[in-house]
Amino acid sequence: MRDFANSSYQRKKVAPNKVKIQRKPLDLGKYLRPLKAVVFGFAILALTGAFSYGCYKAVSSVTLFSLKNIEVSRTKHLTRDEILGLSGVEPGKDMLRMNLKLMGESLLQNPWVETVRINRYFPDSVSISITEREPVAIVNMGFIYYLDRKGNVFKVLNQGDKLDFPVITGFSEEEIGADPKGTREALVSSCDLLKILREKGAFILADVSEIHYDKGYGFTLFTASGALPVKVGSGDFPAKVERFARIYRDLMVQLPTIHYIDLDYNDKIIVKKS
């Protein structure tokens, strides 16, 4: 066996392999080129958007159909300037951009306006036709309101509003909220009674100072002379008023001795004397 420990052989050290790597400089352009393309694309889009918006503004500022003529129907309670102010319409506006529905809704916010019709006539005209509510009575419900011929309570009276209308009492805002249907029917009935009293006859609306409503009983008229209660009840108003009209003048002579008159019967009149 060979004794390697005492051998004169010496292993040579092998120098490690040295490979010299030459580093290439970093090519930033390789990475920036895609980024430049993206930035350039965004720049083109921004310029295109700005140009398009500028063109839109330029085109939209050109009014092809400019409003020149505004026709407004004759009204009793609203002035022309008030109507134009409520509708927001004025000469020079673009006919194509006018929102007629919105204009009509704005006008209907005014209590005097019952119906409104707006028409657009190219190239340069608009017409506004308004139907106003007409008061037939005043309803005292804590606040004083106008009542129209259809039984609608539509406006709180303000300073300067006319007061020469029949007064209706017995209604309240609480009842309107609690029983809107029943109150509405009673208000319509009061308009029916007022219509009958307006007709020519011996007993007419001028002879009535107040119409009082009681939910359980119905209507009671109070005469302008002496505030005599005339109980009418509910329904069949024409026949009741006609019967009373025949004897009204004769009864007025006896007024100091009469406590009330009850018409709420089919074929007779009850005169209660004091």
Q: What is the pLDDT of residues 192-235, one digit of tens each?
A: 999 999 886 667 778 899 999 999 899 999 998 889 999 999 98
DSSP one-letter code for 63: -
Low-confidence winner among 51-65, 139-153, 168-182, 188-202 (lowest mean pLDDT): 51-65
Percent of the chain at pLDDT exceeding 90: 58
Mean pLDDT over 123-143 rounds to 95
Low-confidence winner among 56-70, 85-99, 201-215 (lowest mean pLDDT): 56-70
Buried b (16+ CB within 10 A) or exposed e, 63-90: eebebeebebeebebbeeeebeebbebe
Range(s) within the chain of domains with CATH label 3.10.20.310: 69-132
Helix (H, G, I), strand (E, B) or coil at 71: strand
Element (H, E) at 262: strand 258-262
Contacts of 274 (CB under 8 A, 6+ apart): 257, 258, 259
Q: Which amino acid is at 82?
A: E
The predicted pLDDT at position 265 comes to 87
The predicted pLDDT at position 111 comes to 97
The predicted pLDDT at position 170 comes to 96
Whether pTM exceeds 0.75: no
Report CA-CA distances (Å) from 94 to 86, 98, 147: 18, 7, 39
What number of residues does the chain have? 274
Q: What are the DSSP E strand ranges found in 142-185?
A: 143-148, 153-156, 167-169
At the topology level, CATH places domain 135-273 in Rossmann fold (3.40.50)
* Beta bridge mates, 172: none
Range 69-132: architecture per CATH: Roll (3.10)
Range(s) within the chain of domains with CATH label 3.40.50.11690: 135-273
Nearest CA-CA partner of 272 in 249, 254, 253:
254
Mean pLDDT of the residues in the chain: 84
The predicted pLDDT at position 218 comes to 95
